[in-house]
Structure 1
Amino acid sequence: MKRAPITTRGVVELFTSQGCNSCPPADALLSDLAKRNDVVALAFHVDYWDYLGWRDTLASPENTGRQTAYRNAMKGSMIYTPQVILNGRVQVNGNDAAGIRAGLARMSDGPGGLTVPVSITRPDDKRIVIEVGAGPKPGTPVHLIIAYFDDAAIVPIRGGENNGRSIVYRNAVRDIETIGMWDGKPLRVEIPASELAKKKASGCAVLLQEVSGDDRLGPIWGASMLKPHDLPVIDR
């Protein structure tokens, strides 16, 4: 029996750091959003606060680079934590819960929403299958991006601004890469399910996103997420 697909209504990317004392409320908010089946909620831990006395155990230079690419695209003057990007289009302070939820609701029903159907499934133990539907031919390169994440990690912090706290982090991205290009035609990509173990990840998400030639990140057209509790889909 196949499960009915769930429509993704929005993508929330939180840029956060274990070394930033302003971030725990935003981390808690992302944890709440991660419980929703209609939202792709991802945490990108950055490394530029490591000098404050605690090295973020989930951070990577690639995550910092992704935030910088958003800053360049949005012509911002700085990067900061906690910062949220909604659907690759607008930035909101990561502690502005009302603004984030309002932005999601506004985009899901109007301009800025996800308009291209994207699905990710694990039909058996060997494969992860990603399918993208048809849409208008894009004028800007559109990448099919996969992000591998940890569903949950409890981190005891023993230094820096959050010294002495143990914080639960949800959907922390461990690796992100482009696995294809989309030209408006239906697209199907299969990857080995073993990639999850190789990336030390428990789940993955796919984003269909504009990326300009100078690596500036643009709007997200579609997205989907494969969570650890998503069992293989078997026809009976």
Structure 2
Amino acid sequence: MLFPRTALALALALAAVPAAGQSQPKAAGEPRTVVELFTSQGCASCPPADALLGELAKEPQVLALTLAVDYWDYVGWKDTLALHGHSLRQKAYADQRPDRKVFTPQMVVDGTLVAKGSDRAAVQRALLAARSSGGLAVPLDVKRDGDTLEVALPETDLPGASSGHAGAELWACPIARSQTVAIGRGENGGRNVTYSNVVRGWVRVAPWQGRAAHFRVALKDLHRDGADSVALLLQEGTPTAPGRILGAAVLSLD
């Protein structure tokens, strides 16, 4: 039985409350949870998950991202938003887990917790578990300076030091806040599906080892494929061995 929307809203509210001993992030609207949905226009069971991610995307404490994969393209419709790198990222996540399962729709919360993307109850449990584990530990101070994006990170003991990750990496992801696609063929042929916070690329900003640091990114590198915002992700590990997401922020490019 799926939990009603009010239960999911309650889970989001609880996830926004800092765990004992956890400091408040600097900005009230700074995301405290990151949800990645691996989805495909060719997957018949994905539209309910796409709609659920749309609900999550409206919550200021949640950075909800759509990562369209390309391994469903063989069914007769090439996903117009897919990036092959998303398929590789999903597999890299799976390689870090004992189950090694790759499927759509699949949500990954804070880089470590997995849920079936259309299962509200499972998503709720993952959000609550993320909160109980401390949530995002590193605040990102992000601002625009003319044609440049500036990101400041504080000095922090890397939480991943005990989990085998030698450090973390800061990524800037151009995103399109809303894109509606008329799907012409395949399992969803004839449907119009709206996707929220669609990731249109990945820009590696810099590695990070826990020391106070300041980084700059040229905005011209982030304007691509209809992107109107940018998501910043600070994540343990590497693209081939991703770990826990330590911090996140989102900024409009308008």
Shared fold, TM over 0.5: yes
1:176-191 superposed matches below 5 A: 176-191=202-217
For the pair 1:133 / 2:158, whether they are aligned, the reply is no
Aligned to 1:86: 109
Q: What aligned pairs does 1:21-60 form with structure 2 within 5 A after superposition?
A: 21-60=44-83
Match of 1:156 in 2: 182
Contact 1:115 1:221 (8 Å CA) reproduced: yes
Deviation at 1:39, TM superposition (A): 0.9
Deviates more, 1:93-102 or 1:217-226: 93-102
| Cα-Cα RMSD | 2.0
Count, aligned residues: 224
Query: Are residues 195 and 162 of structure 1, via their aligned partners in 2, closer, same or farther at CA, if it must alter by over 3 Å?
Result: same
Stretches of structure 2 lacking an aligned partner (at least 5 in a row) = 1-25
- 1:116 and 1:134 in contact (8 A); partners too: no
1:76-134: CA deviation from partner (whole Å, max 9, x where unpaired) = 343110000000011110011232233223423x315111111332244x121122222
> If the length of structure 2 is used for normalisation, what is the TM-score?
0.82
Correspondences of 1:68-147 after superposition (within 5 Å): 68-108=91-131, 110-124=132-146, 126-137=147-158, 139=161, 140-147=166-173
Counterpart amino acid of 1:222?
Answer: G
1:171-214: per-residue Cα shift (whole Å, max 9, x none)?
111111321111111222111222232454111111111115x8
The aligned amino acid for 1:90 is L
Rounded Cα–Cα distance in structure 2 between residues aligned with 1:177 and 1:127: 14
Alignment partners' CA distance in 1, 2:224 and 2:192: 27
2:90 corresponds to which residue?
Answer: 67
Question: What TM-score do you get using the length of structure 1 for normalisation?
Answer: 0.88
Percent identity over the alignment?
Answer: 37
1:73 is aligned with what amino acid?
A: Q
Tell me, what secondary structure is at the counterpart of 2:126? Answer: helix
Say if 2:112 and 2:243, in contact at 8 Å, map to a contact too. yes
Match of residue 20, structure 1, among 40, 43, 50: 43
